[in-house]
Amino acid sequence: MKMKAPVSKNDLVTVQFEDLTQDGSGVAKVDGYPLFVPFALPGEKATVKVIKANKGYGFGRLVEILEASPDRVENPCSLHKECGGAQLLHLKYEGQLRAKEKQVRDVVERIGGLKGIQVHPVLGMENPWSYRNKVQVPVGEQNGRMIAGYFKKRSHEIVNMENCGVELSMDDSIVLKVLDICKANGISPYDENEHKGILRHIMVRWAKETGEIMIVLITRTRTLPNSDEIVKDIRTSIPNVKSIVHNINTKRTNVILGDRSATLWGSSTITDYIGEIKFAISPRSFYQVNPYQTKVLYDKALEYAELTGEETVIDAYCGIGTISLFLAQKAKKVYGVEIVEDAIKDAKRNAEINGITNAEFIVGASEDVITNMAKEGIKADVIVVDPPRKGCDEALLNTIIAMKPKRVVYVSCNPGTLARDLRILEAGGFQTKEVQPVDMFPQTTHVECVSQLILK
């Protein structure tokens, strides 16, 4: 016999919230039946309208807060509910850090099945606002007016960033200046539905330590009309600009950057530092977007690697060599492995500009390259992984287990896949010593972690 949900669509119910989901929604239960409600906080009592009732769980909309959480703060952004870019603006920052620590601990125990693992309090920011060093925003038209902004939650409708009460960092104000310059020079906005118009996206990259700025104009067309005037106006309006790049993306796609770029003026890269290490950053370079917390994250990875100067280290998913070069300062030899060829070119260039000779970079899938290294007699004392959100490839985890390094340092942007992979490594003979969450994305639900595992 089918069990019927205790609530139906359009019901008004009074509930007590117990928890937060990983996307920041409040969780309440009606006779054991979970209701997920955006913008609600644990400990709050509220009236909720049921908007969807599935068999095992439902979704609701907050109608009235009857008892507010002491961690609730007034939301500084009027577009918060439309945009969805910063999901925790209504939660005091100290509360955000506690929620993220709980999230990591819960998934390590529930998904990883690992009890008693030390999960430290989250390393947060002193000033958790306007921290991004890179923005890339779509350009479109609204009521006959050219705008740039962020996509509305679960849609491709642009929310005009001029009204953003939260971000408006230096990068955002530069985007608005560039938008005005493009308007003044007759550049039309891209129409996604018709695949017409010129300007698709504006990207701004900013180097915290040097102040250098890169501006990338991404167009549907192979040419950028009035490009000389646009360059002149940008240079006049934005003093620290070092690089102005035209990127061409002619395809009907959600991918932002196209395959071809041309430097309209200045350098093809900008330069930044993490600690003592200098990095050349191109439009495509993967580089952590929170420069204030990047060194915090990498210092922790270096601490967990426990390097004495005698170790051979393999850095899987090395990107442009950020962690590899950081580790090379204390290791005997570092091998960086990355499947993206352009990233390896950047990594080699970054090693060269820093005069680092004990780091070697190899193109290929980590599981294949590291397996071949083992066959050639190369043994790693430490393996560092920093995979994308989907976590490590299972073949790579099996390769790590077979290679038996003394330590594994796992840098993760997704606690769920981290917990899954820790469980696999534990079953393969490693012990998770500790997990350190780092808040790289304040006001959002995202949290990074660094974990140390040792060979049992």
pLDDT digit string (tens) for 6-36? 999 999 999 999 999 999 999 999 999 999 9
Q: Quick one: tokens of 155? A: 């849609």
Residue 144: how many CB atoms within 10 A of its CB?
5
Q: Are residues 211 and 339 in the same domain?
A: no
In a shared domain, residues 431 and 348: yes
| Calpha distance 387→365 (Å, rounded) | 12
Looking at the structure, tell me whether residues 211 and 358 fall in a common domain: no
* CA 193, chain centre distance (Å): 28
CATH number, domain with residue 33: 2.40.50.140
Amino acid symbol at 34: P
Average pLDDT, the chain: 93
Residue 345 lies inside a defined structural domain of this protein = yes
Q: Residue 116: give its domain's CATH number.
A: 3.40.50.150
Q: CA distances (Å), 426 to each of 399, 400, 413, in order?
A: 14, 11, 20
Tokens 């439309």 found at: 82
Instruction: Name 313's Cβ contacts closer than 8 Å, sequence gap at least 6.
Output: 305, 307, 324, 327, 331, 333, 334, 335, 380, 381, 382, 383, 384
Per-residue pLDDT averaged across 230-241, rounded?
A: 96
CA 210, CA 270: separation in Å to the nearest integer? 9
CATH at 219: 2.40.50.1070
Domain extent for 65: 12-72
Asked if the model's pLDDT at residue 165 lies above 50, the reply is: no
Which of 233-255 are b and which e, b meaning 16 or more Cβ less than 10 Å from the residue's Cβ?
A: bbeeebeebbbbbbbbbeeeeee
| Residue range 299-314: mean pLDDT, rounded | 97
Element (H, E) at 231: helix 227-237
Say whether both 212 and 239 belong to one domain.
yes
**Number of folded domains that form the chain:** 3
Active-site residue, 413 included:
yes
Say if residue 236 is in the same domain as residue 304: no
Q: Is residue 95 part of a domain?
A: no
Catalytic residue among 83, 164, 413, 449: 413
Q: What average pLDDT does this structure show over 155-176?
A: 70
| Side chain identity at residue 104, one-letter code | V
Listed residues 56, 72, 88: the one ending a domain: 72
Q: Are residues 250 and 318 located together in one domain of the fold? A: no
Looking at the fold, whether 140 and 187 belong to one and the same domain comes out as yes
* Adjacent-strand bridge partners of 166: none
Check whether residue 390 and residue 338 sit in a common domain.
yes
Quote the pLDDT of residue 162: 65
- Provide the percentage of residues in the chain whose pLDDT is more than 90: 86
Among residues of the chain, what percentage have pLDDT more than 70? 96
Q: Are residues 215 and 331 both part of a single domain?
A: no
Say if 91 falls within a structural domain.
Answer: no
pLDDT one-digit tens code per residue, 80-120? 777 767 889 999 999 999 999 999 999 999 999 999 999 99
